[in-house]
Structure 1
Amino acid sequence: MLVIEGLTKRYPTGDLALDGVSLTVPDGQVMALIGPSGAGKSTLIRCVNRLVEPTAGTVRLGDTELTRLGGLALRRARRRMGMIFQEYALVERLTVMENVLSGRLGYVGFWRSWLRRFPLSDIEEAFRLLNRVGLDHMVDKRADALSGGQRQRVGIVRALMQNPDLLLVDEPTASLDPKTSRQIMRLIVELAKERGLAAIINIHDVMLAQQFAERIVGLHAGRIVFDGAPGALTPEVLTAIYGEEDWSATIRKGREGEEDDGEGEGGKAETATDPVRIAAAQ
């Protein structure tokens, strides 16, 4: 369980990005974080894993108070938080398998990681997860040869390779077409449920948030102005989050949206012919 209490972030410029945010995300719950640009969504996620240092407040993951940690203890705690990035954050010249196994770097020693010698159990788990997301046939492809949807799937698997307790997801569909966006959101939700993970998904698309998240938190100017079920989103609530606009069509489409179950980019593509260039540690 993730517990955030009174989280505040003020930058040296004086800008207040977060203003006393408090919320609890139980294990197994997928929460969508919505709000306008500059509302503090990305800052909140990055304060949780301490990529951004909060000014005040506490963050606890299970029994661990993350805001008190430093050095080795913080590095170990970050292994429990899988991060999925908007721009994928893959190493372009490395293969799919090499990028996936980088999720284990916090668990293996320096020289093993440098030589890319991972335990056989890690390699087997990587194959299993790549099969789960429909990329088992692309293990030896370079990341720069993948489509956007395929890259995001690699990023999801890399995060899961950490065996995390929490998923932090920052705009996973911002660079994807509508069909692939639904597929990626569906995949993240399914995997979080399968593993009983708490998940926070920072997302601009209100309709996707309504369709896939079980809870929605709306931020405005660094404060929570809505926290409830997708069905409780009304035009009045969206006006409080984003400002004055005719939200009736957004609400209707979000509630009536039909999910597309086609394979799309997650389906089988060309078969990789080269062997995987990862050595199992003896």
Structure 2
Amino acid sequence: MLTLTGVGKRYPTGDRALTDIQLSLPKGQVMALIGPSGAGKSTLIRCVNRLVEPTQGSIRLEDVELTKLSGSRLRHARRSMGMIFQEYALVDRLSVMENVLSGQLGYVGFWRSFLRRYPQEAVAEAFRLLERVGLPHAIDKRADALSGGQRQRVGIARALLQSPKLLLVDEPTASLDPKTSRQIMRLIRELCAERELAAIINIHDVALAQQFADRIVGLRAGEIVFDGKPSDLTSEMLTTIYGEEDWDTTPEPADDDDEESSGATSHVTSPQAATAPHAPRQNRLASGGAQ
């Protein structure tokens, strides 16, 4: 579904962020990007949706060559790629519902979005998504009144309102506590399975990547040094990706049994935790529009 061929990124300073990236992501697969800070993980994700311009190579989403698009054609293609940000990227003064509905900006345009004139079917879908991510009680709350985990759930619902084919997820658990981090990763995993979405998740927590991803790609200095199953991520490979460390003494993650319900409905059983060594963790609505 998504194919990257020979993708590279060099900044005007001469620094090279990515070198000869070769990746193919099939429909429905959840892929985790791991690697040390500065390895190029965020750059790779942003090259896919052209928030960062690659300096070489090809990026194809189904039959569309993304690197050749500009203007309205690029905006149209971005509808197919839902982005979930580390810092949530919500408008604090707007309500939860209004933030979710902003996911329709690529469809309704700026002025209709500014005037809160959304199609009724989009409003109905926003209600369904907020129910699914466990926030039906928070529709009228301002975004700045939410916890970090709730804000991330709003970001997930907003991305899904685009009806994307691909999710690009940039460090979704970086600011969250361990329990909430697991709940958010489980939710993303379940939603991808329900909607047959492919996803690329940039994540620092190797234990979460092993537990919730189908595939792990390790980057170091802008190059792919590992691409395989979570169970294949040995302590030797972690040393290749991150550098020397006693990976075998790193604690295992806690069992799911101690977790309370997150409030979101669970439809898919999460993957069993991998046994390989882990790295340390670091409304008001009127007809046709939101008021």
What TM-score results when the alignment is normalised by the length of structure 2?
0.90
Partner residue, 2:152: 152
Partner residue, 1:280: 288
User: How far did residue 264 of structure 1 move?
Assistant: 4.2
Q: Is the aligned partner of 1:259 residue 2:267? A: no
* 1-structure distance, mates of 2:103, 2:256: 30
Partner residue, 1:21: 21
Partner residue, 1:132: 132
User: How far did residue 280 of structure 1 move?
Assistant: 1.1
* 1-structure distance, mates of 2:233, 2:93: 43
Query: CA-to-partner distance for each residue in 1:216-243, whole Å, 9 max, x for gaps?
Result: 0000010000000000011110000000
User: How far did residue 135 of structure 1 move?
Assistant: 0.3
Note if contact 2:131-2:264 (Cα within 8 Å) is conserved in structure 1: no
Structure 1 letter corresponding to 2:205: D
- Counterpart secondary structure, 1:107: helix
Q: How does 1:153-172 map to 2 (within 5 A)?
A: 153-172=153-172
* 1-structure distance, mates of 2:15, 2:106: 34
Q: Is the aligned partner of 1:173 residue 2:167? A: no
What TM-score results when the alignment is normalised by the length of structure 1?
0.93
Can you give the 5+ residue segments of structure 2 that lack an aligned partner in the other structure? 266-282
Q: Is the aligned partner of 1:231 residue 2:231? A: yes
Query: CA-to-partner distance for each residue in 1:88-134, whole Å, 9 max, x for gaps?
Result: 00000000000000000111144321210111100110000100011
- Counterpart secondary structure, 1:105: helix
Partner residue, 2:79: 79
Query: CA-to-partner distance for each residue in 1:56-103, whole Å, 9 max, x for gaps?
Result: 001000000100100110000001000000000000000000000000
Partner residue, 1:52: 52
Moved over 4 A (4+): 264-267
* 2-structure distance, mates of 1:81, 1:278: 29
Structure 1 letter corresponding to 2:113: S
User: How far did residue 249 of structure 1 move?
Assistant: 3.1
Structure 2 letter corresponding to 1:113: S
Partner residue, 2:268: none
User: How far did residue 140 of structure 1 move?
Assistant: 0.4
Note if contact 1:192-1:199 (Cα within 8 Å) is conserved in structure 2: yes
Identity %: 71
* 2-structure distance, mates of 1:181, 1:266: 14
* 1-structure distance, mates of 2:286, 2:57: 43
Partner residue, 2:217: 217
What is the count of residue pairs matched by the alignment? Answer: 271
Can you give the 5+ residue segments of structure 1 that lack an aligned partner in the other structure? 268-274
Distance 1:265 1:14, change over 3 A: farther
Note if contact 2:134-2:262 (Cα within 8 Å) is conserved in structure 1: no
User: How far did residue 279 of structure 1 move?
Assistant: 4.5
User: How far did residue 21 of structure 1 move?
Assistant: 0.5
* 2-structure distance, mates of 1:25, 1:51: 19
Q: How does 1:4-19 map to 2 (within 5 A)?
A: 4-19=4-19
Partner residue, 2:99: 99
Structure 2 letter corresponding to 1:263: S
- Counterpart secondary structure, 1:117: coil
Note if contact 1:116-1:279 (Cα within 8 Å) is conserved in structure 2: no
